[in-house]
Amino acid sequence: MTFLYTAYSITMAILFGYIFYLGSKQTKVIKEIESLKELYK
């Protein structure tokens, strides 16, 4: 069972880690776009 739990945990950690990576990338880009738009209104 330990091997099964390890494999499943690794899978979920990578998938959810990737979602968090995408989320932080999106936030960073949106913040930069909005600050530029604000600056050049």
Partner 1 sequence: MSFFKNEEELGLNLNTRTTLVNHIVYGIAFAMILVSAYLIFIYSNIEKTMGAVQKIFYVHVGTAWNALLAFGVVFVCSILYLATKKRIYDVYATVAAEIGVVFIIIVMLTGPIWARSAWNVWWSWEPKLTSALILFFIYIAYTMIRFMDGSWDKKARLCAVFGIIGFIDVPIVYFASEWWGSKFHPTVVGQEGGGLEGNMVFALVFTVFAFSFFLTALIHKGVRIEKARIELQHMKDKIAEKIGR
Where does this chain bind partner 1 (CB under 8 A)? 1, 3-4, 6-8, 10-11, 14-15, 18-19, 22, 25-26, 29-30, 32-33, 36-37, 40-41
| CA–CA dist 3, 9 (Å, integer) | 10
Q: How far is the CB of 39 from partner 1 (least distance, A)?
A: 9
Q: How far is the CB of 9 from partner 1 (least distance, A)?
A: 10
Q: Is the dihedral of CA 29, 26, 35, 37 positive or negative?
A: positive
- What ranges make up the beta strands (E) of 1-41? none
Q: What does DSSP assign to residue 40? A: T
Q: How far is the CB of 34 from partner 1 (least distance, A)?
A: 10
